[in-house]
Homo-oligomer: A and B are copies of this chain.
Amino acid sequence: MGDGYVHGYHARERERLLDQAGTLVDLLHSDTAYPAGNTVLEVGCGTGAQTVTLARNSPGARITSVDVSAASLEEAKARAEAAGLTNVEFRQGDLFALPFGPEAFDHVFVCFVLEHLSRPLEALIALRGLLRPGGTITVIEGDHGSAYFHPDSDAARDAIRCQVELQRMAGGNAMIGRQVYPLLVGAGFASVRVSPRMVYVDSSRPDLVDGFTRKTFTAMIEGVRDSAIAARIVEPARFDAGIRALYRTAEADGTFCYTFFKGIGEKAAA
């Protein structure tokens, strides 16, 4: 796990992130739209899965999307072109040393990024410096400790714990969603409001059974199998039993719950 990043860089994981953005787009993004002419910094855009939605929902805003990975940025650019986006500019850079002056942006948007950082509070403080007074920051994060399901299964919970543990070993925190509020407040933002976005799945919602329970959450956990076994966090048979139990929750009498947290804060006027 030397790359300090548990998901997002591998082909299978990339597909999962796409599925996730497609399925959850309304739940997570529909209430984010920036005024025409405003400047928006998207931090950690990765391969652009969220960028397309962000840019479409704010067609008049000027969006700058940054990521530390040149390879991811290439994909993000290709995707933005394919989507016909004209209001996004891509820049490479590290979150803690971005090539922008202070107070350069009206808004900052951070989605599925803090979970990967060993210093999320310091990251938010750095981003606050890039905001003009009166500007806003929007943070969206998941929380793997928010996952529960029927039928319940200790093996499934052990498999989920593998992802949490790998992310921890990589310096991140897969249960950071519940901390969005104290992180934003701690970084000095004002008027912080956090709203949970719970995904509840039962068989009356077949699109979510397939799009979320199977193809987003369970596929993500399944994707850490080799890493978890190599790190000796779990026995292969136990992990596989957990994955089977997660897929079991997608059957007709199963249910699945997961919650994302969306927080908004303001940089108080000086």
Chain A residues with a Cβ under 8 A of chain B: 143, 145-146, 148-150, 152, 175, 178-179, 181-182, 185-186, 192-196, 198, 200, 202-204, 253-255, 257, 259
* A202 and chain B: residue at smallest CB distance: B181
Q: Collect the chain B residues with CB atoms within 8 Å of residue A181's CB.
A: 202-204, 255
Q: Is the CB of A255 within 8 A of B148?
A: no
Q: Which of A143, A186, A194, A202 has the most CB of B within 10 A?
A: A202
Q: How long is the Cα–Cα vector from A186 to B253 in the complex, in angstroms? A: 8
Contact B146 A257 (CB under 8 A): yes
Complex Cα gap A178–B185 (Å): 32
Contact, CB under 8 Å: B195 / A200: yes
Task: Please determine whether B185 and A253 come into contact, CB atoms closer than 8 angstroms.
Answer: yes
Minimum CB–CB distance for A99 against chain B, Å: 33
Contact B152 A182 (CB under 8 A): no
Q: With the chains together, A32 CA to B53 CA distance in Å?
A: 36
A192 to B255, CA, bound (A): 13
Residue from the list B143, B195, B253 in contact with A148, Cβ < 8 A: B143
Complex contact A204–B193 (CB within 8 A): yes
Chain B residues near A178: list those with CB within 8 A: 148-150, 152, 255, 257
Complex interface: chain B residues within 8 A of A254 (CB) = 182
* A48 CB, nearest partner CB in chain B, Å: 30
B residues in contact with A150, CB < 8 Å: 178-179, 182
Residue of B nearest to A191 (CB): B204
